[in-house]
Amino acid sequence: MGYCMSYQQGNARFKIEVKDKILQAIKNLRGKESVQDSSGRHFRWVNNDFYKIDNIEKMFREWGWHLKEDKEDGYFIITEFLGEKLGDDDILLNCIAPYMEDSYIEMYGEDAAIWRWVFQDGTFKETMAEISWRY
């Protein structure tokens, strides 16, 4: 079970020089797992040993996201959702928000919902699309 979603577009990015701070912020999520079941406490779709990962690209991959390094401009850019279903993405994105540039990730849900996860002034929020037709 779960809610299927796909990445549509976005420009979510952070400066290469803050990658260690972001990596540590994600590791600090250990102990705040959202699911408790027969396998123990964990985040949805994330390995229990995520906190042992010491590479920013591998860490994002573990959480279901692809990073592209743009050395020329000095950024890591979130370019793709590698998973299939919504997990604890809001927890991940909220914890990295203080280090993100003003940017967004636009997603499309299985029920045709469209939303953006927005990073602005060091904060994170979700906003739903409002579609209107003009004739």
What pLDDT score does 131 carry? 87
With 0.85 as the threshold, say if the pTM is over it: yes
What is the dihedral angle through the alpha carbons of 40, 51, 29, 86, rounded to the nearest 10 degrees? -70
Per-domain residue ranges of the chain: 5-128
Percent of the chain with pLDDT over 70: 100
What pLDDT score does 73 carry? 96
What pLDDT score does 39 carry? 82
CB contact at 8 A, 67 and 77: yes
**pLDDT tens profile 33-42:** 999 988 888 9
Percent of the chain with pLDDT over 90: 91
Please classify residue 125 by burial: count the beta carbons closer than 10 Å to its beta carbon, then call 0-12 exposed, 13-18 middle and 19+ buried: middle
- CA angle centred on 81, ends 91 and 13, rounded to 5°: 70
What pLDDT score does 1 carry? 72
Q: If the chain, 135 residues long, is cut into consecutive pieces of 10 residues, what is the mean pLDDT of each piece? A: 94 98 98 90 93 98 98 97 96 98 98 97 96 89
Query: What whole-number distance in Å separates Cα of residue 112 and Cα of residue 12?
Result: 22
